[in-house]
Chain A
């Protein structure tokens, strides 16, 4: 049995062990959705990091820096600064007013049926696009990093459903995430995320240490080496901005297109995080607002350190391995693949310091880290999406408000498990179906963060802080922001492969247009709702949510016996 497969099986073994342990702690609704609110601040900080740092940020950013130098670092900066929005405005009010999902907070002072349905819709849209990108990425990564695994799986998972041939690697990732979520709920998901965060941090620290060791811990000579790497098209060296964002080439409305794209990306990055349902859900797992606050700070420490290390990984791969050598199989004339910058760097450093076996081991270790990374993120997403279906839509809209029934704890958990299974199957199928046609990178960077900032963020902020905000405004931003974003991305460049030469919308990052419109829709909807006298409750209930959000009076308690 080869090394990669062995490490991969260890990861699977550890996570399934956690799930078996967690299964006994995921019986009641509050345990299933919120881990019994017994997660400590620092643990939740680790879990947030594990939930947040996806394969896109580990392999993706390292690859962007390795291929484009400095400009790839822009993602790292935005993804950390984003947490200030979460810390200042979102984390504590969320914990104080919420129960299990984002919609619990949004529907608090509004008409529950339309707002919960709209919030469930935007939650599913964000989680689904994020999930697609992760699953498609997982499929191609496993094929490249662990080819033996993919061929070993093929005879077992050679399934065709509704005319779509499932991808064996995607199917295995999907089945694992379904086991975690169905059996262990939030408890298992949290601990899988914590284990992943520890693995990812150790991997990044180890590689950064070896890169710096190679340069004798001399930053001067490290940066000299980076400055020797030149981009062939722009003639810039890799320490300089302008390689990925080619400033001064094209213009729209008299403004530099590359600059607009970069700012638009920045808006989605720093505002979107505060509206990601799978991240917000994590704040319901801690005992109180103080712990929610502490968990953001822990997450910021970990995420920030990790993103600084992405420069060592990316620049390290650029200088030590070189773009031409970063590809699936190391051979002459291979096709460079930026996702492989970190794995190839690991192989290079391992070989340099510990010989051939060392190189193989380090490559296998980084592959296992990447695999754990994907598993932890998709588990969090599955939980968020199934929360929207079962807790928001089934339990609250249909059973409670349309049928006026009482839903027992047992039924809630059962429905939660069933929807988690459905979400899992649907994403396996969709990922296999979409995989070949769409541009996965554009999906994750473009859609999930922009929907989160254009649809969810205005609804959250106005619910908490604007007295006049009402049902119409909430539905307008949740539905309008989501639909508008998807439409703009679909008519813009970068969605389909190969890219269209003259797209109807010029920017790949649509945030600069759709985020302000999302906020405008929330305001416009509110005033129209007032004119129509549609919702007189929202303003009266504002006093309650205002006091509760700030003070934590009446916040969901930690259940007795955890």
Chain B
């Protein structure tokens, strides 16, 4: 059984598309994907992603919605001039750009250093599994 094929290439009389629609993937293929899902490497990958993406997402959502909320609820504060006529509202809006770029940079760094090597390990394991099965 080959992992990574779009359609199960089981030798049967029905055309592949029909087989996929009616019967779904054969149990041994499901088992193979499930097996990969339970490897330590894959779990580490999912956990690493989750540990970065969840807090980062919560952070940027909160940070973003603070801007309209403060503009609406504390207009006096937001209209305070900081440097000349540059006020808190404008600086906070500009800081959203810095925030977005910084998070993007941190994500890329994490992805290159942590996610990619882990994903590579899972792919290597899948390839070994395929070699062993045939």
Binding site for B on A (CB under 8 A): 70, 73-74, 76-78, 80-81, 83-85, 87-89, 111-112, 219-220, 223-224, 226-227, 236-237, 239-242, 245, 247, 256, 258-259, 262-263, 266, 270, 290, 293-294, 296-297, 300-301, 304, 307-308, 311, 400-401, 404, 406, 536-537, 540-541, 543-544, 546-548, 550-554
Cβ contacts B30-57/A at 8 Å (1 or 0 each): 1001101100001001100100010011
Residues from chain B with a CB closer than 8 A to the CB of A546 are 33, 37
Q: Are B25 and A84 in contact (CB under 8 A)?
A: no
- How many B residues touch the partner, as a band? 35 or more
Instruction: Look across to chain B and name the residue whose beta carbon is closest to the beta carbon of A308.
Output: B97
Instruction: Look across to chain A and name the residue whose beta carbon is closest to the beta carbon of B36.
Output: A547
Q: Which 8 A-B pairs have the closest CB atoms?
A: A554-B4, A259-B72, A227-B85, A543-B33, A223-B85, A537-B24, A241-B71, A544-B33
Q: Are A259 and B100 in contact (CB under 8 A)?
A: no
CA distance A236 to B25 in the complex (A): 64
Q: Given A266-B64, A290-B116, A304-B101, check contact A551 B21 (CB 8 Å).
A: no
Q: Given A224-B84, A537-B24, check contact A293 B3 (CB 8 Å).
A: no
16 pairs from A and B in contact (CB 8 Å cutoff): A70-B89, A76-B93, A83-B104, A240-B89, A241-B89, A259-B72, A263-B69, A270-B64, A297-B108, A304-B97, A311-B90, A537-B24, A540-B30, A543-B37, A550-B45, A550-B46
- State the total of A-B contacts with C-beta under 8 angstroms: 175
Q: Given A77-B67, A247-B71, A547-B42, check contact A240 B79 (CB 8 Å).
A: yes
CA distance A290 to B116 in the complex (A): 8
Binding site for A on B (CB under 8 A): 3-6, 15, 17-18, 21, 24-25, 29-30, 33-34, 36-37, 42, 45-46, 49, 53, 56-57, 60-61, 64-65, 67-69, 71-73, 75, 78-79, 83-87, 89-90, 93-94, 96-97, 99-101, 103-105, 107-108, 111, 116, 119, 122-123, 126
Q: Are B123 and A81 in contact (CB under 8 A)?
A: no
Q: Given A78-B64, A540-B30, check contact A240 B87 (CB 8 Å).
A: yes
Instruction: Look across to chain A and name the residue whose beta carbon is closest to the beta carbon of B31.
Output: A543
Residues from chain B with a CB closer than 8 A to the CB of A404 are 15, 17-18
Residues from chain B with a CB closer than 8 A to the CB of A76 are 93
